[in-house]
Protein backbone atom coordinates (compact mmCIF):
# COMPACT_ATOMS: atom_id res chain seq x y z
CA UNK A 1 0.00 0.00 0.00
CA UNK A 2 2.86 2.38 0.92
CA UNK A 3 4.49 1.76 -2.47
CA UNK A 4 1.20 2.47 -4.26
CA UNK A 5 0.76 5.78 -2.42
CA UNK A 6 4.33 6.86 -3.22
CA UNK A 7 3.87 5.95 -6.90
CA UNK A 8 0.59 7.90 -7.00
CA UNK A 9 2.28 10.97 -5.51
CA UNK A 10 5.05 10.76 -8.12
CA UNK A 11 2.49 10.55 -10.94
CA UNK A 12 0.59 13.54 -9.58
CA UNK A 13 3.82 15.52 -9.33
CA UNK A 14 4.75 14.74 -12.93
CA UNK A 15 1.30 15.80 -14.16
CA UNK A 16 1.38 18.96 -12.06
CA UNK A 17 4.69 20.21 -13.50
CA UNK A 18 3.63 21.38 -16.94
CA UNK A 19 5.40 23.57 -19.43
CA UNK A 20 4.65 27.27 -19.13
CA UNK A 21 2.58 28.64 -22.03
CA UNK A 22 5.34 31.18 -22.77
CA UNK A 23 8.96 30.19 -22.15
CA UNK A 24 11.85 32.48 -23.06
CA UNK A 25 15.55 31.73 -23.07
CA UNK A 26 18.51 33.79 -24.26
CA UNK A 27 21.83 32.62 -25.63
CA UNK A 28 24.47 34.23 -27.80
CA UNK A 29 22.36 37.19 -28.88
CA UNK A 30 19.24 35.14 -29.68
CA UNK A 31 15.96 34.98 -27.76
CA UNK A 32 14.15 31.66 -28.13
CA UNK A 33 10.45 31.84 -27.27
CA UNK A 34 8.30 28.71 -27.04
CA UNK A 35 4.51 28.96 -27.09
CA UNK A 36 3.13 25.71 -25.68
CA UNK A 37 -0.33 24.25 -25.36
CA UNK A 38 -3.83 24.66 -26.73
CA UNK A 39 -4.77 27.67 -24.61
CA UNK A 40 -2.00 29.88 -25.98
CA UNK A 41 -3.11 29.15 -29.55
CA UNK A 42 -6.46 30.75 -28.76
CA UNK A 43 -4.82 33.88 -27.32
CA UNK A 44 -2.60 34.75 -30.30
CA UNK A 45 -3.74 37.71 -32.36
CA UNK A 46 -2.20 39.28 -35.44
CA UNK A 47 -3.14 42.93 -35.73
CA UNK A 48 -2.40 45.90 -38.00
CA UNK A 49 -2.16 49.51 -36.91
CA UNK A 50 -4.00 52.28 -38.73
CA UNK A 51 -0.95 54.50 -38.30
CA UNK A 52 2.57 53.19 -37.83
CA UNK A 53 3.54 52.64 -34.21
CA UNK A 54 6.38 51.09 -32.26
CA UNK A 55 6.29 47.57 -30.90
CA UNK A 56 6.24 49.08 -27.41
CA UNK A 57 3.13 51.12 -28.25
CA UNK A 58 1.38 48.05 -29.68
CA UNK A 59 2.37 46.09 -26.57
CA UNK A 60 0.82 48.68 -24.27
CA UNK A 61 -2.25 49.35 -26.42
CA UNK A 62 -2.99 45.63 -26.78
CA UNK A 63 -2.46 44.99 -23.07
CA UNK A 64 -0.21 42.24 -24.27
CA UNK A 65 1.97 39.76 -22.46
CA UNK A 66 4.15 39.18 -25.54
CA UNK A 67 4.40 41.34 -28.67
CA UNK A 68 6.61 40.90 -31.75
CA UNK A 69 6.81 42.58 -35.15
CA UNK A 70 5.38 40.71 -38.14
CA UNK A 71 4.60 41.74 -41.72
CA UNK A 72 6.35 43.97 -44.25
CA UNK A 73 5.16 47.50 -44.95
CA UNK A 74 5.93 50.48 -47.13
CA UNK A 75 7.69 53.17 -45.05
CA UNK A 76 6.81 55.82 -47.67
CA UNK A 77 3.05 55.62 -47.24
CA UNK A 78 2.67 53.39 -44.17
CA UNK A 79 0.64 50.82 -46.07
CA UNK A 80 1.07 47.08 -45.85
CA UNK A 81 3.00 44.78 -48.18
CA UNK A 82 1.75 41.73 -46.26
CA UNK A 83 -1.70 40.25 -45.65
CA UNK A 84 -2.92 40.31 -42.04
CA UNK A 85 -6.06 38.49 -40.89
CA UNK A 86 -7.59 39.47 -37.55
CA UNK A 87 -10.62 37.69 -36.04
CA UNK A 88 -11.27 35.82 -39.32
CA UNK A 89 -11.31 39.01 -41.41
CA UNK A 90 -8.66 40.57 -43.65
CA UNK A 91 -7.35 43.55 -41.70
CA UNK A 92 -4.93 44.89 -44.34
CA UNK A 93 -4.40 43.90 -47.98
CA UNK A 94 -1.32 44.77 -50.08
CA UNK A 95 -3.53 45.10 -53.16
CA UNK A 96 -4.62 48.47 -51.76
CA UNK A 97 -1.04 49.76 -51.69
CA UNK A 98 -0.69 51.91 -54.81
CA UNK A 99 3.09 52.04 -54.49
CA UNK A 100 3.29 48.37 -55.43
CA UNK A 101 1.76 49.11 -58.82
CA UNK A 102 4.02 52.13 -59.31
CA UNK A 103 7.11 49.91 -58.96
CA UNK A 104 7.73 48.11 -62.29
CA UNK A 105 9.64 45.22 -60.68
CA UNK A 106 6.91 44.55 -58.12
CA UNK A 107 4.19 44.98 -60.72
CA UNK A 108 5.79 42.37 -63.02
CA UNK A 109 6.19 39.95 -60.12
CA UNK A 110 2.94 40.65 -58.30
CA UNK A 111 1.93 36.99 -57.97
CA UNK A 112 5.20 36.12 -56.21
CA UNK A 113 4.82 39.06 -53.87
CA UNK A 114 1.22 38.25 -52.96
CA UNK A 115 1.93 34.56 -52.41
CA UNK A 116 4.67 35.00 -49.83
CA UNK A 117 4.58 32.70 -46.81
CA UNK A 118 2.31 33.35 -43.83
CA UNK A 119 1.83 32.02 -40.32
CA UNK A 120 -1.74 30.99 -39.50
CA UNK A 121 -3.76 30.01 -36.48
CA UNK A 122 -6.43 27.70 -37.89
CA UNK A 123 -9.51 26.26 -36.19
CA UNK A 124 -10.49 22.73 -37.21
CA UNK A 125 -13.23 20.83 -35.39
CA UNK A 126 -13.01 23.18 -32.40
CA UNK A 127 -9.26 22.65 -32.14
CA UNK A 128 -6.63 25.25 -32.94
CA UNK A 129 -3.43 24.54 -34.86
CA UNK A 130 -0.56 26.42 -36.47
CA UNK A 131 0.27 26.45 -40.16
CA UNK A 132 3.17 27.93 -42.12
CA UNK A 133 2.16 27.96 -45.77
CA UNK A 134 2.04 30.09 -48.90
CA UNK A 135 -0.68 32.72 -48.76
CA UNK A 136 -2.77 31.18 -51.52
CA UNK A 137 -2.77 27.74 -49.89
CA UNK A 138 -6.29 26.64 -49.03
CA UNK A 139 -7.55 25.20 -45.75
CA UNK A 140 -9.21 21.84 -45.24
CA UNK A 141 -13.00 21.60 -45.36
CA UNK A 142 -14.51 22.70 -42.08
CA UNK A 143 -11.41 24.67 -41.08
CA UNK A 144 -11.14 28.45 -40.75
CA UNK A 145 -8.23 30.87 -40.52
CA UNK A 146 -8.70 32.72 -37.25
CA UNK A 147 -5.70 35.02 -37.53
CA UNK A 148 -2.59 35.15 -39.72
CA UNK A 149 0.36 37.30 -40.70
CA UNK A 150 2.28 37.15 -43.96
CA UNK A 151 6.00 37.75 -44.14
CA UNK A 152 8.57 35.58 -45.81
CA UNK A 153 10.55 33.95 -47.02
CA UNK A 154 9.75 30.40 -46.05
CA UNK A 155 12.89 28.91 -44.47
CA UNK A 156 11.91 25.30 -43.81
CA UNK A 157 11.32 22.85 -45.35
CA UNK A 158 12.81 24.86 -48.24
CA UNK A 159 14.29 28.34 -48.50
CA UNK A 160 12.16 30.20 -51.04
CA UNK A 161 14.17 33.31 -51.89
CA UNK A 162 13.49 33.57 -55.62
CA UNK A 163 9.98 32.10 -55.44
CA UNK A 164 8.92 34.88 -53.04
CA UNK A 165 10.76 37.73 -54.77
CA UNK A 166 13.41 38.26 -52.13
CA UNK A 167 16.11 37.57 -54.72
CA UNK A 168 16.06 38.20 -58.47
CA UNK A 169 18.82 36.78 -60.66
CA UNK A 170 19.77 37.46 -64.26
CA UNK A 171 20.04 34.76 -66.91
CA UNK A 172 23.60 33.99 -65.79
CA UNK A 173 22.55 33.40 -62.20
CA UNK A 174 23.88 36.69 -60.82
CA UNK A 175 21.84 38.41 -58.12
CA UNK A 176 20.53 41.70 -59.48
CA UNK A 177 17.99 42.50 -56.75
CA UNK A 178 17.73 41.64 -53.07
CA UNK A 179 14.98 42.45 -50.56
CA UNK A 180 14.96 42.41 -46.77
CA UNK A 181 18.76 41.97 -46.76
CA UNK A 182 18.24 38.21 -47.02
CA UNK A 183 21.85 37.69 -48.19
CA UNK A 184 23.38 39.94 -45.54
CA UNK A 185 23.79 39.68 -41.79
CA UNK A 186 21.05 41.55 -39.95
CA UNK A 187 18.69 41.06 -36.98
CA UNK A 188 15.76 38.76 -37.72
CA UNK A 189 12.31 37.84 -36.42
CA UNK A 190 11.65 34.16 -37.15
CA UNK A 191 8.63 31.99 -36.36
CA UNK A 192 8.56 28.21 -36.60
CA UNK A 193 6.65 25.09 -35.58
CA UNK A 194 7.75 21.90 -33.88
CA UNK A 195 5.61 19.12 -32.40
CA UNK A 196 2.54 21.36 -32.42
CA UNK A 197 4.17 24.28 -30.59
CA UNK A 198 5.19 27.65 -31.99
CA UNK A 199 8.78 28.81 -31.67
CA UNK A 200 9.96 32.39 -32.14
CA UNK A 201 13.57 33.43 -32.62
CA UNK A 202 14.47 37.05 -32.05
CA UNK A 203 17.93 37.29 -33.57
CA UNK A 204 19.36 40.53 -32.22
CA UNK A 205 22.12 42.77 -33.50
CA UNK A 206 24.45 40.94 -31.11
CA UNK A 207 24.41 37.99 -33.53
CA UNK A 208 23.03 39.10 -36.93
CA UNK A 209 22.54 36.41 -39.60
CA UNK A 210 21.88 36.05 -43.31
CA UNK A 211 19.02 33.81 -44.34
CA UNK A 212 21.23 30.79 -45.04
CA UNK A 213 22.62 31.00 -41.52
CA UNK A 214 19.06 31.30 -40.19
CA UNK A 215 18.07 28.17 -42.10
CA UNK A 216 20.95 26.23 -40.52
CA UNK A 217 19.95 27.50 -37.09
CA UNK A 218 16.35 26.38 -37.65
CA UNK A 219 17.55 22.94 -38.73
CA UNK A 220 19.73 22.72 -35.60
CA UNK A 221 16.64 23.42 -33.49
CA UNK A 222 14.81 20.63 -35.32
CA UNK A 223 11.91 22.81 -36.45
CA UNK A 224 9.35 21.25 -38.78
CA UNK A 225 8.58 24.46 -40.65
CA UNK A 226 9.92 28.00 -40.34
CA UNK A 227 9.51 31.41 -41.92
CA UNK A 228 10.70 34.98 -41.46
CA UNK A 229 8.82 38.11 -40.57
CA UNK A 230 10.21 41.58 -41.26
CA UNK A 231 13.71 41.97 -39.87
CA UNK A 232 16.59 44.41 -39.70
CA UNK A 233 15.59 47.58 -37.85
CA UNK A 234 12.02 46.23 -37.61
CA UNK A 235 13.08 43.35 -35.35
CA UNK A 236 11.24 43.99 -32.08
CA UNK A 237 9.99 42.13 -29.03
CA UNK A 238 8.35 43.10 -25.76
CA UNK A 239 7.61 40.62 -22.99
CA UNK A 240 5.55 41.93 -20.06
CA UNK A 241 7.61 44.77 -18.58
CA UNK A 242 10.64 42.53 -18.35
CA UNK A 243 12.23 42.30 -21.81
CA UNK A 244 12.40 44.74 -24.71
CA UNK A 245 14.30 44.28 -27.96
CA UNK A 246 14.60 47.18 -30.39
CA UNK A 247 17.12 47.74 -33.16
CA UNK A 248 16.83 51.54 -33.14
CA UNK A 249 17.45 53.88 -30.24
CA UNK A 250 14.53 54.88 -28.04
CA UNK A 251 11.27 53.00 -28.42
CA UNK A 252 12.20 51.45 -31.78
CA UNK A 253 11.14 51.73 -35.40
CA UNK A 254 7.53 52.52 -36.26
CA UNK A 255 5.83 49.40 -37.66
CA UNK A 256 2.59 48.30 -39.29
CA UNK A 257 1.67 44.87 -37.90
CA UNK A 258 2.24 42.79 -34.80
CA UNK A 259 1.62 39.49 -33.10
CA UNK A 260 0.18 40.08 -29.64
CA UNK A 261 -0.74 37.69 -26.86
CA UNK A 262 -3.12 39.64 -24.59
CA UNK A 263 -2.86 39.14 -20.87
CA UNK A 264 -5.40 36.75 -19.37
Taking a C-beta distance cutoff of 8 angstroms, is the pair 134, 140 a contact? no
The model's pLDDT over 12-37, given as tens digits with 9 standing for 90+, comes to 444 444 568 999 999 999 999 999 99
Across 40-61, average pLDDT: 97
The model's pLDDT over 178-237, given as tens digits with 9 standing for 90+, comes to 999 999 999 999 999 999 999 999 999 999 999 999 999 999 999 999 999 999 999 999
Torsion angle (degrees, nearest 10) of CA 29, 178, 84, 199 = -30
Across 74-86, average pLDDT: 97
Burial class, 240, CB count within 10 angstroms (exposed 0-12 / middle 13-18 / buried 19+): middle
Taking a C-beta distance cutoff of 8 angstroms, is the pair 200, 39 a contact? no
Domain residue spans of the chain: 19-262
Distance of CA 84 to the CA centre of its chain: 11
Q: In the 3-class helix/strand/coil scheme, how is 186-217 assigned residue by residue? A: ECEEEEEEECCEEEEEEECCCCCECHHHHHHH
pLDDT at 186: 97
Tell me how long the chain is.
Answer: 264
**Is pLDDT at 110 greater than 60 in this prediction?**
yes
Across 103-126, average pLDDT: 97
Q: Whose CA is closest to 261, among 240, 234, 231, 233? A: 240
Q: Partners of 131 in the beta sheet?
A: 120
Amino acid sequence: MKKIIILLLICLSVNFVQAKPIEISYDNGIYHIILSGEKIRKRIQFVAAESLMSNREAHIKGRSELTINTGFFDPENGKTISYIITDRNTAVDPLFNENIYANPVLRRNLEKLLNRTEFRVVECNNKYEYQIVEHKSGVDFGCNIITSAQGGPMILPHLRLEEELFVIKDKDGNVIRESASVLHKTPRTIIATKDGDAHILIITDKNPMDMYEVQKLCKDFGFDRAMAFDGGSSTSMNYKKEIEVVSDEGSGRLLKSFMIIPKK
